[in-house]
Structure 1
């Protein structure tokens, strides 16, 4: 796989697109922690911090599929660049005005989330035109996921460093400026400017007419809720331990665990249906969330956070392949954006539930919300296994069978949160 990754990165524009997308997604990847830290610096409680995080996530969740469909219809630069500017401006207003007046704070956070550019979906839609072969595309999914885990490990540390050196408000501003620059690097590239979606069948449901896609979205809504709860519970746990920096270590450990799991998963090729493999991976993921409710000392808790992340990356990598198999023709960006949406809504709900659970209970109750999310994801996949089956082949341009890779080896992987 290392050789496959190197070959893929040597392809013209591949490294630029991957790096630009990762940097462009920094605001989304760090939003939960950055918003919680900023709200706490304004002497407000976890309930408000969770509510604002939820508003951001819901705005992001609503905007991703809408902007993704617009990208499929009108191309990437005409949609992504204006949305990136509006998103950064929304978070800048939030950092400037703070929590007074509160309605303006809610509106600014909602705008920042709503206009987050669909860089994830856009990148995965670009890979076929940039890389050509299916093996390279699968390797790109894997490397995409590995690189995201690096970002999720480093991102919280960057936010904490900026907050400690300057202020939580400065952290919000710097992260969002970096996000804007990342989006700019993507949309000014020739592949992004020249990309056009496949012809699509007119249907008001768009990508959502795929039953298999709906199953994946339901499962990852639940996984997102688990991660959203962990983000808020980690800050509460750190506060109870007397060191606010512990929250960054816990979230970084979650990312490092996912990175390790992804690298190990990517050392081999996988035969058989990815739909079945997804169920097995999510089972392991749900089990690894359970020890978090023990809330031991900081060192042990950091190790448990790493364990909780181990199967996240493989789950996401496998989901990328499943979404690609089940997405209707001409709906690639929208389908991948719906995955981001389901993850984002879940994370928002998890954050919103974890806030009151912590405030009226304990930090252990916040982590219990994540356990419930993992269990629910597993139940969704088990209850709908008859719907998430290998899709029938359909022939596209060049007589290449699309969405029918049953029995073919899938290059291993390695992937990131929030989808």
Structure 2
């Protein structure tokens, strides 16, 4: 979800093999042009040794850590699980509304303004929420909406900066894998910190801490030299922005189903815990999936691609879909735990390849907004997958089906026989 040997200065900037057609329409062969793999594999250590990378990565983790902390704090602070669940879901879905808008502002006015302004608004809302509590009704819901929509666009910004910070395409590829891996850290470490702080102090202390981390991490990110030096790419005004190429829209459509696999997994884990009468499965399966994702990111950077990009992406998606098969059927509790590690292992590599394809397809000067739309698509899928899995009694067939549709769309997107799908509908 590697780049040309000469990486563009900005994410989404055109190269000789990536020149938008008149009117901003992407040529239908955009995914097929990237046929050369990186000259060599690059490790996380070599990425982190690049000037400014440690600061950017550390600040990005701190700024995004509240995304893993706040839903748990809301659940623990609310007067009932039902109310807490609704409010936590509200916080999880609202960044999907705010990220594209803040990303567009970053592409047009620079990264620092939306990152700092978004952090200030989100931190203020979380700080006030820590005072009034999650059980305050409408005020709590309003504060949660503000906190979610104002989440600073760090994810899109850091991926926009990688081609500027990294020396070559192989390092850009590894940097994207590093960031995808660090996102898994956020969703593994965040809940652990939230529960630990809630036990030691209170859920409201978690909300106050999340407010502080949002502000500290985002300001440190905006103060990084790479952010200060970055300038927007001039481009023709287009209200569709990164959504102009049909290939981009199909890619984002596929990501709804990728998000659906993760959303369905959480429900399937609860159902498995009830089916096997082992409560620990409810937490062990999502945790195992996320931890396997960390390992997958580490292994991915050591893999030297031998397939052209337009084959690498659908092959990874197909492998991810097949990896869910062992979970379908009547298997033991321990087998379920071990089986969920395989799709988890493939999740971060697939997400990384998607991110690279997104950068290829985004018209010049729209890279940050494009990542915002990626976040939106995945979050919509998470919500839909959770809802469908609930109606499907928590069957593992739901994530399997969702992953299969994702693989089919990505396969059709990249095949020359489906080239008409990549056109803008004008022919």
Q: Same fold (TM over 0.5)?
A: yes
Residue 404 (structure 2) pairs with residue 375 (structure 1): yes
Alignment CA distance shift 1:175-1:234 (3 Å): farther
User: 1:226, 1:371 within 8 Å by CA — same for their partners in 2?
Assistant: yes
- 1:251 matched to which residue of 2? 286
What's the Cα RMSD here? 3.1
Alignment CA distance shift 1:5-1:99 (3 Å): closer
- 1:20 matched to which residue of 2? 59
Query: Helix, strand or coil: the match of 1:269?
Result: coil
Distance 1:95 1:54 in 2: 18
Which one of 337, 346, 369 corresponds to residue 334 of structure 1?
369
- 1:111 matched to which residue of 2? 146
Q: How many residues align?
A: 380
Residues 20-41 of structure 1: CA deviation (Å, up to 9, x unaligned):
11221112245555544555xx
- 1:43 matched to which residue of 2? 80
- 2:30 matched to which residue of 1? none
- Per the TM alignment, residue 2 of structure 1 is displaced from its structure 2 partner at its CA by 7.9
- 2:302 matched to which residue of 1? 267
Distance 2:277 2:254 in 1: 35
Residues 319-358 of structure 1: CA deviation (Å, up to 9, x unaligned):
121111111011111112211121122223334445x53x
- Per the TM alignment, residue 274 of structure 1 is displaced from its structure 2 partner at its CA by 2.1
Which one of 198, 204, 222 corresponds to residue 187 of structure 1?
222
User: 1:92, 1:173 within 8 Å by CA — same for their partners in 2?
Assistant: yes
Distance 2:403 2:131 in 1: 37
Alignment CA distance shift 1:234-1:204 (3 Å): same
Aligned pairs (5 A) from 1:286-365: 286-292=321-327, 299-354=334-389, 356-357=390-391, 362=393, 364-365=394-395
Distance 1:76 1:320 in 2: 19
Aligned pairs (5 A) from 1:216-235: 216-234=251-269
Query: Helix, strand or coil: the match of 2:340?
Result: helix
Alignment CA distance shift 1:178-1:250 (3 Å): farther
- Per the TM alignment, residue 305 of structure 1 is displaced from its structure 2 partner at its CA by 3.2
Aligned pairs (5 A) from 1:391-406: none
Distance 2:271 2:193 in 1: 19
Q: Whose Rg is larger?
A: 2
- 2:201 matched to which residue of 1? 166
Which one of 126, 151, 156 corresponds to residue 91 of structure 1?
126
- Per the TM alignment, residue 368 of structure 1 is displaced from its structure 2 partner at its CA by 4.7
User: 2:69, 2:190 within 8 Å by CA — same for their partners in 1?
Assistant: yes
- Per the TM alignment, residue 104 of structure 1 is displaced from its structure 2 partner at its CA by 2.6
User: 2:42, 2:302 within 8 Å by CA — same for their partners in 1?
Assistant: no
Distance 2:359 2:140 in 1: 37
Residue 47 (structure 2) pairs with residue 8 (structure 1): yes
Alignment CA distance shift 1:262-1:295 (3 Å): farther
Which one of 173, 190, 193 corresponds to residue 155 of structure 1?
190
Distance 1:238 1:35 in 2: 23
- Per the TM alignment, residue 4 of structure 1 is displaced from its structure 2 partner at its CA by 4.4
Query: Helix, strand or coil: the match of 1:191?
Result: helix
User: 2:68, 2:189 within 8 Å by CA — same for their partners in 1?
Assistant: no
Distance 1:272 1:163 in 2: 48
Q: TM-score, normalised by structure 1?
A: 0.79
Alignment CA distance shift 1:385-1:131 (3 Å): closer
User: 1:75, 1:197 within 8 Å by CA — same for their partners in 2?
Assistant: yes
Q: TM-score, normalised by structure 2?
A: 0.78
Unaligned stretches of 5+ residues in structure 1: 393-419
- Per the TM alignment, residue 275 of structure 1 is displaced from its structure 2 partner at its CA by 3.0
User: 2:253, 2:377 within 8 Å by CA — same for their partners in 1?
Assistant: yes
- Per the TM alignment, residue 200 of structure 1 is displaced from its structure 2 partner at its CA by 1.5
- Per the TM alignment, residue 284 of structure 1 is displaced from its structure 2 partner at its CA by 2.0
Unaligned stretches of 5+ residues in structure 2: 1-39, 423-427
Query: Helix, strand or coil: the match of 2:226?
Result: helix
Indicate the structure with greater helix content. Answer: 1
Distance 2:272 2:201 in 1: 23
Alignment CA distance shift 1:288-1:271 (3 Å): closer
- 1:400 matched to which residue of 2? none
- Worse-superposed segment, 253-262 or 232-241: 232-241
